[in-house]
Structure 1
């Protein structure tokens, strides 16, 4: 198509200033097209090879950077995508793509700091509103960046209970805690708590039953014993732990009857935590489940609080004194499990925070590896996304009814329903894009040829493994694979019988005739 474009020129306008000669080239002019990144460049040349005109499908930024390439690199990060996947998509569609070097340079030079600054501004606005409150209840939980015990980073997130807004996101690298991933959550909690207590009036904090955090919040020996802050435990995690214990004992032969009562026992646990305020009250209600499963609803000085039941129960009763009943009693009356029961009676749950932890997977999946700075930026993007869309209204259909969506749970084998909210608008993204673009336009140079490691980058402390890697050539020589037999001898090469090989004077009798 470019060959049919006619330039409004009657001749070549090239001139040599040193000799004073002019080119006398006339149309038709030659047209050449070449790709550059995601752009197409079309150039017109006269018959003598002088370039007359050049057209680029994208606008150019300062220092020659193409606007489309810059925004593509920026939005891959802002949308939570990965360069390798987008590059593969473009390859399958036969579309030119920016190089990985360009993408990582744009990401590290212009995006990461802009995202951090943008998050701090949004966070400060939330903190300013909370400073007027006399009492703030915070939900806190940690998340590792990869499954198993090989985590590199821990993200510790704090949410305000009333507004359900994320008020703190702290990331800790394993290299900052002596290469011990088991203490990253403790270090992240200390960093979070020390910072938040100076900004807002926290009177209660809700976490899961993490042993190290419980030690920090111990009212007599803990690090924060003098701050008079209530430490509550998440009821949802406790109920989940109870479900696992019941399911485990229910799978044992002779105790199968417990499986049919798991849902009722867990619901009773929720009820006991919600309607009691002391350990004694809780135990009076909680122990009643041992009578209820046997069909006994009044005993001694206690009774069940439910309405009258049908004469023919839909579940098989657990006989008193049976193996199933004894196993259930051990769980219900387990002192180790009940030692922190007072922390559950505030009836707090971090379910909304767990929802945000799951939302982080959109930006930082656990099957992908990121450098610390990129991982931190992606968690902040998840927090910006969550806070911006947290309070959006519910969706109303054309009939004026609130929309709902049903979801099937394979584990519980039943359907549940939840309210559908309006589609996300990502209204904060244009402002963030503008910040990043302005940083590029105000820069004093182009993309750096080499990306230097900053002083606060944990990579400056050494490799993640803590061991300096040997040269690749050395690994190639020393590494042995399964099924590969390596024979090392010091004998010289010589020809014997069938082939030229190393032998130790006939130690390979089947090949050597010497």
Structure 2
């Protein structure tokens, strides 16, 4: 017994939550082994009173450490992006992640519920503002910021944070461009456009990494509109000609003929005014690929087919952040002879093509040991300070509460109208 609580029950509940598992899965496992386990009400009771406050407290300690390290390193380059709990435009929760890109550490997480801001479309801007405001209040000097091309974030940075350099992530820009090319190539007589997808996206990355100014990026990028037509001399003095050698034999491409529908529509996409305007701000060095990796990791702790409460979502996001920060700097795995290990994978975005990826060493879970120590040596003995800290976190009103109130008000109104009508 630990403070009148069966120790085994609490250990099982803690191991279940801290490892990112779900009660349903563990319950099925125990039933399959014919092992008597805890009830669901027991798990939720310990989770609410002991486990969630433990996770909140430990994340505060880790976050303070990450912020102190960022301040010690001087001006910081941040990356931000939002993850919704469900696809489409009807998400309930949106978690905004802010990452220190130089240190590759998650430095802040903001969870926003859609009814706090009116609808799910506004959650990203709200989460971004909260996170940036918190970090600046804590003394973090933000030199530059890398995000996607969210219009609300662009306007906020343009009007209120002019001293911070705002860049756009090349991966998001390449992804959007690739989708437009895929859609165009499905049209009749436009199949040749799809053959240029990989080359054009690679050219976007090359333009970003080899340029020193926004004008040079636009000049390098605009040359691709001529290149696809087998024209390799350009009018722009910043990039007068292609740098490759003459392409002959097997090196030749499926050139697009000028004035054809495929060439005209493809060129309209490549030289669209909005894309050229955003090219001035494409990030030359830092990307948000680390945030995308973190969002993939979140699925282990927060699968999208399971419903969680607001605090349940938040504590599992914090667990995912602790796991990521602990394992972000893992070294590459090696064989017994000392040779580095690699693997061949077929990622979805490659559309059936493979890539060679370096295998990392096995991840560690030292954060679970810290949580267990904090739980059994401090929280169980005197839970009130940790409960008070967890209770200070603002929890929005339930999503259905406003509809319930509206229905009640409508029912009262109908009752009153019938009463006065009868009298």
TM-score of the superposition, structure 2-length normalised? 0.88
Q: How big is the alpha-carbon RMSD for the aligned residues of Structure 1 and Structure 2? A: 2.4
Q: Which residue of 2 aligns with 1:249?
A: 184
Change (3 A) 1:465 1:328: farther
* Structure 2 residue 222 is matched with structure 1 residue 287: yes
Change (3 A) 1:347 1:377: same
Change (3 A) 1:323 1:313: farther
Q: Give ranges in structure 1 of 5+ residues lacking alignment.
A: 1-59, 475-514
Change (3 A) 1:196 1:444: closer
1:203 paired residue among 108, 123, 143? 143
Q: Measure, in 2, the Cα distance between the counterparts of 1:124 and 1:432.
A: 16
Q: Which residue of 1 aligns with 2:421?
A: none
User: Which digits, 9 at most, give the CA deviation of each residue in 1:295-327, with x for residues without a partner?
Assistant: 232355632111332334453221122111111
Change (3 A) 1:82 1:143: same
Q: Secondary structure at the match of 1:298?
A: coil
Q: Measure, in 2, the Cα distance between the counterparts of 1:443 and 1:299.
A: 73
Q: Measure, in 2, the Cα distance between the counterparts of 1:444 and 1:138.
A: 35
Q: Measure, in 1, the Cα distance between the counterparts of 2:234 and 2:373.
A: 70
* Structure 2 residue 400 is matched with structure 1 residue 464: yes
Is the CA contact (8 Å cut-off) linking 1:234 and 1:350 kept in structure 2?
Answer: yes
Change (3 A) 1:321 1:189: same
Larger radius of gyration: 1
Q: Which residue of 2 aligns with 1:71?
A: 11
Change (3 A) 1:146 1:201: same
Is the CA contact (8 Å cut-off) linking 1:133 and 1:201 kept in structure 2?
Answer: no
Q: Secondary structure at the match of 1:303?
A: coil
Q: Measure, in 2, the Cα distance between the counterparts of 1:193 and 1:368.
A: 29
Q: Measure, in 2, the Cα distance between the counterparts of 1:326 and 1:202.
A: 42
Q: Which residue of 1 aligns with 2:301?
A: 363
* Structure 2 residue 151 is matched with structure 1 residue 215: no
User: Which digits, 9 at most, give the CA deviation of each residue in 1:63-105, with x for residues without a partner?
Assistant: 2x22111111111110111111211222222211100110000
Change (3 A) 1:456 1:285: closer
1:271 paired residue among 196, 200, 206? 206
The offset of 1:443, in angstroms, is 4.1
Q: Which residue of 2 aligns with 1:45?
A: none
* Structure 2 residue 242 is matched with structure 1 residue 304: yes
Is the CA contact (8 Å cut-off) linking 2:94 and 2:124 kept in structure 1?
Answer: yes
Q: Give ranges in structure 2 of 5+ residues lacking alignment.
A: 412-423
Is the CA contact (8 Å cut-off) linking 2:143 and 2:165 kept in structure 1?
Answer: yes
Q: After TM superposition, list the pairs within 5 Å mapping 1:17-96 onto structure 2.
A: 60-63=1-4, 65-96=5-36
Q: After TM superposition, list the pairs within 5 Å mapping 1:110-509 onto structure 2.
A: 110-177=50-117, 179-198=118-137, 199-218=139-158, 222-225=159-162, 228-299=163-234, 302-313=240-251, 315-344=253-282, 346-410=284-348, 411-439=350-378, 441-443=380-382, 456=393, 458=395, 461-464=397-400, 466-468=402-404
Q: Which residue of 2 aligns with 1:482?
A: none
Q: Measure, in 2, the Cα distance between the counterparts of 1:363 and 1:67.
A: 24
Change (3 A) 1:348 1:76: same
Name whichever structure is richer in strand by fraction. 1
Change (3 A) 1:413 1:395: same
Corresponding pairs, count: 399
TM-score of the superposition, structure 1-length normalised? 0.73
Q: Which runs of 4+ in 1 moved over 6 A?
A: none
Q: Measure, in 1, the Cα distance between the counterparts of 2:398 and 2:318.
A: 25
